[in-house]
Structure 1
Amino acid sequence: MIKVTTIEGESTASMVRAWDGFFCIGIFGNQYFEEYKANHFNAYASFGLNLNTLKKLEDLNMRYLPYWPGSPICNWPGKKERRVVEDYTTSPFSITPPYKQSIKILKQIKDSPSIFAYYLIDEPDCRDWERKELPVSKRIGFYSAECEKMAKVCRMIDPKNLTMILVDNTFRPANWYIYAEIADIFCTDPYDYITLAKPYYLERVTHLAYNACSPRPLIIVPYIAGSFYPRGRYATPDEHRINVYYAIGRGAKGLIYYIHSGCGRENGCKYNPILWREVGRVNKEVRKVAPFLSIGHPVDLVSCSSEKVWATAILAGDKGIVIPVVNRNYQATRKKFVISPLENVSIQVDIPEWMKIKKVLWVKYDRDEPLKYIRQGRKIKIELGRLYSAKLLLLKGGI
């Protein structure tokens, strides 16, 4: 339990299930597990639960986020029609199959070292949108009580592993504040391929969703497929890097990419080798700072030399500070992305009194580069020089 008390004596508390600090870098797609591993993914999310998949991921030391067997679209053998309701479920519009079979399968897989979280239900907004007989304003949260039942069954049978709910932006922001309170992990898909013409969209979504689900952890879904809209496009490598930096800079505790392959009308990232290569490079950088991100919290410590530079700090106790720095001197439309480099960029960081900075690194996929900095009292100034798309900094700390 986490309890916070103000100086006025008011308090609030929330139950949060902890884990070992694992920072999920997962992906949806067909079962190209060796390729995912080589591209620095550490987890796989699927729209089903397959025991052979679980065994393969165990062999590769990767984590699994399967649709749990009580989910309305989970593909497990012998699943009955989705509208069948067991006595445990009281909703007349239940979307949940019988729990007896679900409990049996949970008991079978719960001790696997690869299980990270049970993926309870998916978008659009936990099926709320499908209640077409109701006005739109009455659909939000329709299935929230039943989602709570699914989470309760998981916790009852498997108190160790986590649960996760994924929503999109259909009813934002109300859906975040409803469904973020149910599962152990809240995940949202901004569908940023739709909003390529809104260049800061993923940053704002992450910021608001993080506030909605705190103190529970947030996972963001960056979009790496080609748009199925007419004349749509893939994100460019620079756009992808910027979006991931936005997500981790606003506090995301994990990423699940959509999608590598097997996505119907969309073209998966498998068919864009240039973007796929950049995905792997960014993943490698994120994994280097993951121990800091997993325990960190966004804090306003950074000021920039230009309004066209965006930067924020993830403060990880006395361990260090992660700072994504983004060049916002770009234009994004559904047809193209154009970015212009910035010269002579610098940032200034307020260092907490109890922290001592020992080293400043520019984190790169191939080789980290030490950066010079100037101390100015409790502040340090870091000269970044030319900023093309984005840079990821790590300030290693101590007491």
Structure 2
Amino acid sequence: MLDFQSLLLAAALSGACLSVTMLVIWTATRQSRYFLTASMGLALLAMHVVAFWRYGIEPRPWLGALTLALLPTGFSLILIAAAQFYGRSEVTRQAPLAVGLSILSTTFLMVVGLDGAAFMAEYLWSTILLVWIGWIFWQNRAEFPALIVLMSTLFGICSVSFALCGIVLLVDGRWVLGGAPDNWAERINIIISVACLTALGALPMTMHNLRAAARHRSEALTDALTGLRNRRALVEDYPKKAFGEQMAVVMFDLDHFKNTNDVHGHSTGDDVLRRFAEVMSGSLRAGDSAFRLGGEEFALVIARVEGNYVEATARRILVDFAAEEIVTPAGPLRCTVSAGVAFGKPGGVTLSDMLTRADRALYEAKRAGRNRVAVDGWIAGPVHRPARRA
């Protein structure tokens, strides 16, 4: 029930406030450049609304050309912001070309006196850019399905409202206007723009916060040195009596690791830990998981016990690691590791019980001479290093 001027004022204020909000967010998270880009785009959209209002009062060609240039430029910056959000660098190269074509076409039509046709062209380019933005989000809907479906829908609604403005002018044959267009489609477009701008400003901030929370959680559950999941992740992944008869835990402990640190230094010790983590990861089957428990202790959770798969996997890791050669200032270094295996039970047992039993088996392997696997009291023979290749 508001008049056209009030609707324009609401659109300008909405865009300006969102621009300032995103700019403030960017100052706190400088690495998130899409907030800065989106802030600039929203500022240009707010300027477009002001210029549109002024052109309605004073319809000069240069002001009309400026009005028509601001809208697609603002949308193109929001397009680039969406591309930055998802690492789509090719879009940042393509968007300026679309904007350039838009400005050239609308400026030419405005200069030759066809301001109505210029507005039709502007609405066409705006529709294309809005659909393009929505498509970028839609392609990445797997990250936040509900939010991105909503966001793509809003961009789709906005694009339809701009297309409708151009269609009304085309159907009415308004090639020459002599001022800013003012019809029912324009009023609907402004109402939709105000509503959608508010939502489209809030949703990216929500997705940014969710993404940051997910990253922080991942970092909290990941061992920084090796990239494996840590003990906290192991506890969270296997609560209560999670270990039935089809599951097993293998604990590994690097042999004489303190001596490695004392003789070769902690930097070399870190290299040894990383190398063992790589060997473990390379032996994983789908469904199995590797963890670093702390220090030189690691754990492997076997999700499906089949035949002697658990023992064979543990021994293969021992063999592969014994074959690794770590370069040090004192010359090449080779290390070994011992392993202890515990199997789950039909009624299910707790993680604590599994780790206790696997640790007990690991102790037996070390007491028997290291570089071997112990399985519930049974101790395999030592793993022999392969002969060094010439």
**Shared fold per TM-score greater than 0.5:** no
Please state which structure has a larger fraction of its residues in helix: 2
TM-score normalised by the chain length of structure 2: 0.25
TM-score normalised by the chain length of structure 1: 0.25
Please state which structure has a larger fraction of its residues in strand: 1
Rg comparison, structure with higher value: 2
